[in-house]
Homo-oligomer: A and B are copies of this chain.
């Protein structure tokens, strides 16, 4: 079978290098062009020495005609807002697109515009599909544009969805999500808060209740559960490169037996290749997923209708590039796990 030709537009960030890491070893694709306005003409291996002798390309300018000529499917890894027109143009050129920004994640345009900015391509947005394969696989298979989920939402929606779907959650009580992300989630851009000496040996919350990933979770969980849940999302910055661990506090609406929760998760994920349900008594750790496409999930029922869900992902893999490749596999008729069967690097 001919390899699928793929491109990465905006490849000089951490999502970009991670996409290239995965795509370089993917048996079904050929990486034909990667772009970066800032690094045009520079060898990829000059910027990312980990890719030396693996990716032989130079960064190209963001010339979309050239991209469209060379690729069948394009990953757009641009900042939100910048992606709106780029995705629309590539779609118009007949390309499949997996967009890693927030620009094509929302079905509810008003919600997007409330938290981001006006969306200049609502007709294109209307065609995009939310790319969480475990929940929306059938739609993704048919999609021309996939809005790749945010890293935090991936870590939150996967454990919560089966519980909400079954109506186990007390709608009168807020769901508290205390999430902790590694620093690569802040990107490769220059900011004092991302300096080594600022992050190392520290830890802190940020944007409590005000993070843009909160409405994304609400919208998608609303689709799953029939009504938009009341969520409070509080992210924190962890001194690690990779990983998100979310601790999710849920009040159940009845004295749910442990079996009910276990069943909900089992039914949803027992056959999923990238979701691992931990045995009772074990809790997830970032080290068990680092570099892999897994989402590890565990739960604790403390009695008194209190459920705690824990999830762990690698924010750059299942939270970004790995999930994007999983979506590509689905969109292109490749085996869903192709290129993604890696084991976490531990220690």
Contacts and interface: CB of A to CB of B under 8 A. Distances in A.
A314 to B, nearest CB: 9
Interface in A248-286: 249, 251, 276, 278, 282-286
A243 interface: yes
Interface string A188-213: 10111011111111111110110000
Contact of A346 (B17, B208, B240, B304): B17
Given A190-B191, A195-B195, A197-B184, A208 B176 contact: no
A52 interface: yes
Given A198-B347, A203-B240, A209 B300 contact: yes
A21 B343 CA distance: 6
A210 to B, nearest CB: 8
Contact of A200 (B239, B289, B302): B239
B50 A346 contact: yes
Contacts of A178: 176, 178, 247, 249
Contacts of A14: 197, 347
Given A197-B188, A288-B49, A25 B341 contact: yes
**Complex A-B, nearest 6 residue pairs according to Cβ-Cβ distance, in ascending order:** A197-B347, A204-B285, A202-B287, A49-B288, A50-B344, A50-B346
Interface of A: 14, 17, 21, 24-25, 46, 48-54, 173-174, 176, 178, 180, 183-184, 188, 190-192, 194-206, 208-209, 230, 232, 234, 236, 238-243, 245, 247, 249, 251, 276, 278, 282-292, 296, 300, 302, 304, 306, 308, 310, 312, 341-347
27 contacts: A25-B341, A25-B343, A46-B282, A48-B346, A49-B282, A49-B284, A49-B285, A51-B343, A52-B278, A54-B343, A174-B306, A178-B178, A190-B195, A196-B196, A196-B199, A196-B241, A197-B347, A200-B200, A202-B240, A202-B286, A206-B283, A208-B300, A208-B310, A236-B245, A239-B239, A242-B345, A345-B345
